[in-house]
Amino acid sequence: MIEDLRTLVEVESPSRDRDALTASAKTVAAVVERRLGGHAVLVDSAAGPHVHWSGGGDPRVLILGHHDTVFPLGTLERRPFKVEDGHATGPGVFDMLGGLVQAVHGLAALEDRSGVEILVTADEEVGSHSSRALIEERALACGAVLVFEGAADGGGLKTGRKGCGTFRVSITGRASHAGLEPAAGVNALVEAARQVLDIAALGRPELGTTVTPTVAAAGTLDNVVPAAATVVVDVRVESADEKERVEAAFAALTPHLEEAEIEVEGGIGRPPMPESASAELFALARRLVPGIEGMAVGGGSDGNFTAALGVPTLDGLGAVGGGAHADHEYVVVDAMTGRANLVAALVRALQEA
C-alpha cells in the first residue's frame, strides 16, 4: 500500500489542469488494473479523465473517490512523499489518495469482486460539475455507495454532511475622483461592506447554517471611487429547508446606495447528506467493527449527491489522518491495513445481502 500511495502522490493532480489530471488518471488506472485485473476505463470530460472499473456481474456497490487535489504543480518538489514516525506525508495523501489505495487493496483481498464498481473522478475539489451525472448514474445502478474520503477525527466514519455551495455577489457602482467630486460616484466598496453585513446575518448556527464571506475585491486606485466590487461567500446547510431559505435570501439582496446594482451568481450545489442516508450501512460497519464511531461533518463530498438520490451512502471510509488541504496533511500508516480490511468486509457483506 505504501508503494502504491507513493506512486499516486508522485503524479501531481491539481484540479483544472487537464494534462496533469490525464497523467494522474492513467496512473490510477494502472494501479487498479495491477491489483484487481480487468480494464479500468478512462472517461473523458471537460474537467479531465475520470476512472471507471467494474468487477463484472450485476452492480451491487459503488466505490467512490477522486484523484484531483487542491495543490498546485510544484508542491511535490517542496513537500515530497515520505514515511516518517508512523505518518505518510505528501500532497493529497489524506484527501484522498490514501483512501483510494486502501479501497483497491481491500478489494484485492476478495476472490469474488463481482458486483463491485470503482469510480474515481477528476473534479471533486471544484464542484464535480463534469462528473455529477456519471456519479448519480452509477450510484443508482449499484444501489449502495462507499465513499473513500478521509476519515473523521479519530478514525470515525462520516454519517452525515452539510450541503455546501458558493455565492458570488457582484456590485456595480460609478467611478469618480475621490478628492474632487466623491459625491458624484457610487461607491461599490461601501455598498459591498453593507452587503457583507447583510449576508453574514443570514447564518443560523443553531440550525447548522453557516454563511461566511471569504473573499472580497474592490477598487483600482487610491484616488478613485470604486466602480465595482465582488464578495464571495461560502455557505453550509444541514437541511433542504435551509438551502431554500438561504438561496432565496441571496436572490432578494437589494442595494443600500441609490444607483448601485447587485448581481448574484452561484448556489448550494451539493445538497445535504442526512444521517438517515447512512444509517443502514453504518449499522453494518458497526457489526463488522464494534465501537467504530460515526459523526456528521461540515464538509461536502460526492456522497452528498448519491445520498440525495436516496441511495444508501457511507462516507469517511478513507485514510485515518488529518490536515486535508494543508501542508501538514498526513496518513497514519498503521491504520491502513485495518481500513482496507473494513472495505473487504463491507463489500463482502453487500455482495451476500
35-75: pLDDT as tens digits: 999 999 999 999 999 999 999 999 999 999 999 999 999 99
E strand segments, 47-99: 50-54, 61-66, 82-84, 87-89
| pLDDT above 90 for 34 | yes
Domain 2-161+273-352: which CATH class? Answer: alpha beta
pTM: 0.91
The label of the residue with cell 462520516 reads 158
Residue 187, pLDDT score: 98
Q: Residue 115: which of 89, 72, 144 has the closest Cα?
A: 144
Compute how many other C-beta atoms are within 10 angstroms of the C-beta atom of residue 319. 31
Task: Give CA–CA dist 222/220, Å, rounded.
Answer: 7
Q: What is the mean pLDDT of the chain?
A: 97
CB-based contact 172:260 (threshold 8 Å): yes
Compute how many other C-beta atoms are within 10 angstroms of the C-beta atom of residue 39. 10
| pLDDT above 90 for 353 | no
Location of each CATH 3.40.630.10 domain in the chain: 2-161+273-352
Average pLDDT over residues 128-155: 97
Work out the burial of residue 353: count CB atoms within 10 Å of its CB; fewer than 13 is exposed, 13-18 middle, 19 or more buried. exposed
E strand segments, 87-209: 87-89, 116-121, 145-147, 157-161, 163-172
The DSSP bridge pattern shows strands 50-54 and 41-43 to be antiparallel
Task: Give CA–CA dist 302/62, Å, rounded.
Answer: 12
Q: State phi, psi for 291 to the nearest 5 degrees.
A: 90, -10
- List active site positions: 68, 124
The percent of residues above 90 in pLDDT, for the chain, comes to 99
pLDDT-based confidence at residue 23 (cuts at 50, 70, 90)? very high
CB-based contact 270:181 (threshold 8 Å): no
Q: Residue 346: which of 296, 292, 308 has the closest Cα?
A: 292
The percent of residues above 70 in pLDDT, for the chain, comes to 100
193-239: pLDDT as tens digits: 999 999 999 999 999 999 999 999 999 999 999 999 999 999 999 99
Domain 163-270: which CATH class? Answer: alpha beta
Q: Residue 231: which of 189, 186, 173, 202 has the closest Cα?
A: 189
Q: State the DSSP string of 247-287.
A: HHHHHT---SSTT-EEEEEEEEEE--B-GGGTHHHHHHHHH
Task: Give CA–CA dist 41/26, Å, rounded.
Answer: 9
Average pLDDT over residues 321-329: 96
Those residues with Cβ within 8 angstroms of residue 148's Cβ, 6 or more apart along the chain or in another chain: 63, 64, 65, 96, 99, 100, 102, 103, 317, 318
pLDDT-based confidence at residue 27 (cuts at 50, 70, 90)? very high
Location of each CATH 3.30.70.360 domain in the chain: 163-270
Average pLDDT over residues 84-94: 98
Residue 13, pLDDT score: 98
CA 42, 343, 15, 28 torsion-angle sign: negative
Task: Give CA–CA dist 249/185, Å, rounded.
Answer: 28
Residue 134, pLDDT score: 98
Eight-class DSSP state of 40 = P
Average pLDDT over residues 296-307: 96
CA 289, 295, 301, 304 torsion-angle sign: positive
CB-based contact 10:69 (threshold 8 Å): no
Give residue 162's Cα distance to chain centre. Answer: 11
